[in-house]
Each structure stands twice: as C-alpha cells, then as structure tokens.
Structure 1
Amino acid sequence: MSGRTERLLPARSVWATSMVWWHAGFYAALASVSYFAMFGDERESGTPLVVGALVLLGAAYPFLTRTKDLRTLRPTIYVALLVAVVVFLSFVYDGAGVLLFVAFPQVWMFTSSQRQGVAATAVLCVGVAVGQINRWGLAGTEVYGITAQLVTSFVASCMIGLWISKVIEQSEQRAELLAELEATRHELNNAEQARGALAERERMAREIHDTLAQGFTSIAMLSEAAQAQLRAQPEAPSGLVRSLTAITRTARENLAEARALVASGVPSDVQGGDLLAALKRLPETLHLDSIRLTVELPDNLPPLPSTQQVALLRTAQEALNNVRRHSGATAAEVLMDIPAGGPPLLRLTVMDNGQGFDVSADHQGFGLKSMAARLDEIGGRLQVTSAPGTTRLVAVVPTEALGPGGTDTGPGTRGTDAPLPGAVT
C-alpha cells in the first residue's frame, strides 16, 4: 500500500462516524428499487433477477463494510460487488440508475485510495452507460444523452469525492496536530510540576539547614557543656551523665541526617547502600528505653535502589517510634525476609506486644499515612493488623531478580507469624 493510501486510511474513520445515516439511506434506496421492480407499472420478466441482486448486495453490505474491517481487503471486495450489481441491473432494469445516488458515495467511502476511487467510478459509469445503450439501442439521441450523463456523473462524482477526501485528510491532519499539541502541553505541565517540586525541595533543604540543623547543633553543644560541668563535680549522678551523652549522640546523628538530606536527599544511614547495617543500628539510634528490641535480618539482600532502601528504613523508624509513643509495649521486633514463591519481593515486619489499636479508625495519625504513601511511591504496600498484645506492621516492596541465595532468608530468621516474647496470642 502506498504512502498516499496510508495517509488516507485515517480519513475513512471520519466516514465511519456518520455511518448510521449512510446505512439508512442505502437500505432505503434498495427497498425503493425493489418495490418499484416488483409492484411498479412496468414490471418486467427480469424482476426476480433484480430483486435477487439487490438482496445479495444488501446481505453482503453489513459483513464487508464493518468499521473494524475498514483497513482490510473486505471493503474493496464490497466495492467490486457493488459495481458489478449496479452494472448488471443497468442491463436488465430501467430503474437501476437510482442506485447511482448511493453507489458513488460508497465507492469513495470504501476504496482505500483516491486512485482506486477514480478507477471504480470510471468502471461504474462506463458499465451503466453500456447497459443503458444495450437496453435502449444506438439511436443518436439516446447515445448523446447517455454520453452526457456518463461524463457528467463521472466528473461530478470525482470532483465531490476528491474534494471530500481532501477535506477529511486536512481534518485528520488538524486532529493529529491538536493531539500533538495536547501531548506537548501535557509534557510541559509535567515539566512545570517537576520544576515546582524541585524548587519546593530546594526551599525545604534551605529550611532544614537554617532551622533543624542549627537546632541540632545547639542541642549537641549545650549537652556537651552540661556534661563538662557535671564531670567537674565529684558526686555527679552517673545516670544524668548517661542521659546527656545519649542526648548528644542523638543530636549529632540527627544533625548528620539533616545535612545528608540537604546535600543529596539520601539518609546518611543508607549511604553506600548498607540498609542491613542501618537496620541493625536501630536499637542504638532509637533509644527505646524500656522496650526490648530485637532485629533479625537475612545475610544478604538483592540489589535495591536508594528509594527503596530509604522507604524501608523510614518505615522501620516510624513504626518503632509509634511503638515507643503509643503502644505501651515491652518488646518489639524487626524482621526482614524474602517470601518464597511468587514475584520477587522484600518484606519488612515490625511487631510489638503492646495494647494494640483499631486499624479501621478514621483518626489514624500521620505516621501510618506517611508510611503507606512512601511505599506506594515505589510500588510497595503496607498492611497493619492489631489486637491487644500483638500488633504487626508489614511493608512489602518489589525487587529485581534475587541475588545469590534465592529465597533463603538467612540462618536464624523466623517467619513473621511467630509471636513475640511476652506477646498475647
């Protein structure tokens, strides 16, 4: 199929948008010709052939001109059948010329190129003219009239068909241009949103640097000064010194975290891709006081992008902070494993033996919503189940092909359904 034909194919979809009216007009024309052939004043012996040809054309029409088949060979077959039937009827029935009013438009509807449209129109006009001459003879007046009708019909059909095809082709080009403009506008809108998000991140980075980072620095300095003063006193309480040391360490760690966020957006705990090490340090960095925290991790993990490492670390930190603030638990556990079977996934489970809460309540805090949103951004999901004595938070994220070890979760790692020490089951 030529490039010209390929450019015209979309135009035929425009024809298809008004097909209902063309269907109605086509069958109305067939019905009228059939009626006059059977009940007209000049019934002829060839009436059964006329009606049979019209029935054949009407029966083939819905099967060869369906919208979904417009880019196949079926419409071309229909055009050939249409031309053959109309030319045949012109040899056996005087009223066959009425069908030209629907035959010419259909030729341009269902041919796949303008060249085919012109050729089919020419064959149709010549065939009908020959049929009329066959019926009416070669008298001079009839020949002149038939010739004039032939030329006029051919020129008019080609002019109208070519003009409509050109208009439709231009309409399709405008539609494609509008679609391209819409796509460009969508891309520009996305770029503007990304630019706005970047500007907002830069603003937040400045705010973190100018407020939180400075505040952590002040806390660390004041705590170190207080420790120095206490050390100068021989009877200084050792517990107070330890508390101030913990405050200093926490402030320093959060200061490093704030500076890492300002610098690159990647938490300092997972810089270098060591998520397992960051999770192992949770008992030291979170200072859960009276809560006994156990961390059980696999020996190795599949390669994870920084976004997934950040999401898992933040989920564990936020979950344990919720345990400390709200649960009243005495024991908590962080487990990570790779579920066997199914797609490659990494599962992080945080459990505690606290008082539990209603997970269906509408007043859930920002922490759970933040964790769910963070996981959703990387294609993960969050599931929380809770009852008095047992609360389980499970975060699952997709991974690429697993590294060595397959689904082995490492020695000593137990399933997430195992109860915590002291938990009510």
Structure 2
Amino acid sequence: MNIKPERTDRLLPENSVWIHGMKWWHIGFYTALVVVVLVVLNGEPNPTIMAVTLSALGVLAATYPFLTRQQHLGTWRPTAYVILLILVVGFLAFLPGSGAVLLFVAFPQIWMFSSTARAGLISTAAICVAVATGQLVRFGGSPEDLLGIGLQAGLSFLASTMLGLWIYKIIDQSEDRAQLLAELEAARTELQLADQRQGAMAERERMSREIHDTLAQGFTSVVMLSEAALAQLRSTRLDDGAAQELVARLDAINTTARDNLQEARSLIASTGPSQLQGGDLLGALDRLASAATSAGCDTSSTLPDALPHLTSNQQIALLRSAQEALTNVRRHASASRSQLKLEHSGSHLVLTVSDDGGGFDPDLDTSGYGLKSISARLGEIGGTLRVSSANGEGCVLHMVVPVEDHQSTVAAPPAAAQNQPERVEAQ
C-alpha cells in the first residue's frame, strides 16, 4: 500500500469532512471519558487506585482540547497527544475494568492525529502492546491467558490497522482530488488572465498600428508641408503667384490637420477610419493618392469602377495598408513618382503600390516597422503581403486580400495579371 508521508502537513480545507465532523469526535471522546469515570467511581474500592485513575483521566481530558485544535494539525502537538493517549490507556489496562471503553475512541484518534500512516501503524502497535502488557500483569502469564490476550491484541491491531489505512487512503485521495481541483481552478484562472493579457497586447498592437498609420503620418505631413511653405517664404518674393501657392500649401496643412483630428476622434470613439465613414473605399484611396501628390511625390491612382462587398475590417485593412505604403515611399524611397492600383481578380483583391525610388533588398532590409505593420494587418483578414524590390530599381508592394467570388460586381481590368514583378514574401 502506498504510504505518503506528512499527510497532515497539508492544510485541510475549511469544508473538510474531518473539520465539520470534529465536534462529534469531541462528543464521543468526552462521552467515553464519562463512562470510564462512572465505572471507576462505582467499581473501584481502592481510594488510591481511584484517585490515580481519575487523575490520569483528568490530565487526558484537560490536554485534549489544547493539543488537537484544527490550527495545530501538522505540528508536534497532535503527536504529543497520541503519546499521552497511549500512556493513559496502557496505564488503565493495569486497573480492573476501567480502560476498555477508551479503546473505542483511542484507535480512531490515533489515525486522526498521526502525522503519517507509518506513525499510525507504530502508535496502534504501541497501544495494543501496552494494553496486552497491563492485562498480562493483571491476569497472570498462564498459557491460556497468554494465548487469549495475544489473540485479542493481534485482532485489535489488525482491525484497527485495516480500518485506519482504509480511511487514511480515502481521506488522502480526497485531499489529492481537492488539490487537483484547486490546481485546475488556478490553471483556469491563469488561462483567463493569459487570454486577457493576450487580448490587451493585441489591442495595444492594434492601437500602435492605428496611431502609426494615422496620427504619426498625418503630423509628419503637417511638418513636411509647413517646412516647404517656410522654405518658399524665405526664398521667394511675395508676388501674387507666390502668395497663391502659399495659400494652397497652408490650405493643405489645414486640411491635413483637420483630417487627423477627425482620425483621433474616430479612434477614441472606436470607429473605423474617418475616410471610410461613408463606406467609400475607392474615394478614400483616390484622396490618399492626391494627398501623397500634395506631399511632394507625384502619385497616380488606378481604381476599378466598383468593388465586391467588403467587410469593415477588410476596408480598413486595405486603406491603412495603402497609407503605410505611400508613407514609406515618401519617407524612405526618394521617389519622384509612385502609383496606387487596386484590381479585382477572381477571388482576390490586389492592391499594388509601386515607386521609382532607390529600392532595397527585401531579404536583408527587414527592420522597417511599416512592412511588418502592413503584413500583420493583412494577416488579420487572411491577406498576404508580397514585396518585389532591388537596390536602385524601385519597389512594388502587392497586398492580396481574399474575397468571395459570388460577391464580385465587376471583372478585373484586362491588364490586371500582366507584367507583374517577381513576388517575394515580406519578412
């Protein structure tokens, strides 16, 4: 039988059967003490033996509540009580007809308050030997008495051990199950916390991309436009033509600032991009190309007359990806021209942004946050990003988004699949 050490070192739960049933153990113990006291008072003629017996019972009754409290389980105190119980019961065995009743509560208490199963076995053997020794002293050592007392002690030990180990195993299994349930509850709580942390992290990443793709880009445009206006103001006399151009630039600054203010309000209100408030993705992309031209890079747009049905998330992902791609062209490509093209081909929409800038090696230059942001955003709607570029040869970004065939409203332009550059997965 598997004997696990230090069972009572584990704190019992407050709703344990042992704890709830403890009062009945107390009642049974004190009832047995009262019975023994009555037997001694009514059947012991020797005053000295009566006084010694009552004193021993009084010590046991007085120490019991102080050594067996719930908070003391697993400490030395229950063990001390078990030792005292063995001594008292063994002492009473030397006296005629007074200690047998205590055995009915002594055996269960030994198993209740022993710290291990091994300690329970040893204590059970000790109390059986003590009782047998007292009986042998009282009745003599004849072969018949020796056989009867030995048989009684052996059967008592066997019955107590079997019952004690069986109860011990049941309680041990119950404690293991309670511990397993506690671990499962803790694991479930940890999973819930992990899901919350993952959700919070995903939301932070989403907000980071939104801010990067909207506010940061918009205010960068404000800075670039204002610097261009200031540079022209310093180098040009304010004739009518120059004044009109300055007015146009300042008007572009004002428009950009207003658009980004609306973006901030949209983000705070947890809505989609302000350009899509009317559901016009094509118009938003066209305005995006015009804004890129105003920012200094001549950008053309090639858009279909209509689009298949797109979800709000798909529209937002396409618009934000186009914004990020054109921002990368303006910031990093040193390009004079760029093109934004949206094509519908079968079960996919292909958004292409190309430029005539310096280009880069996609296999080496993977540190740009913009490409990672685009790839992550497209991945959320099942899309992919492909990059075709080389040093000195410009760059082409292909952003592919799946759509349902039956939702299509227009066919792809005839040149949709022609002259496509080699595609390399963005890293």
TM-score (norm 1): 0.49
Provide TM-score, normalisation by structure 2: 0.49
Which structure has the bigger radius of gyration?
2
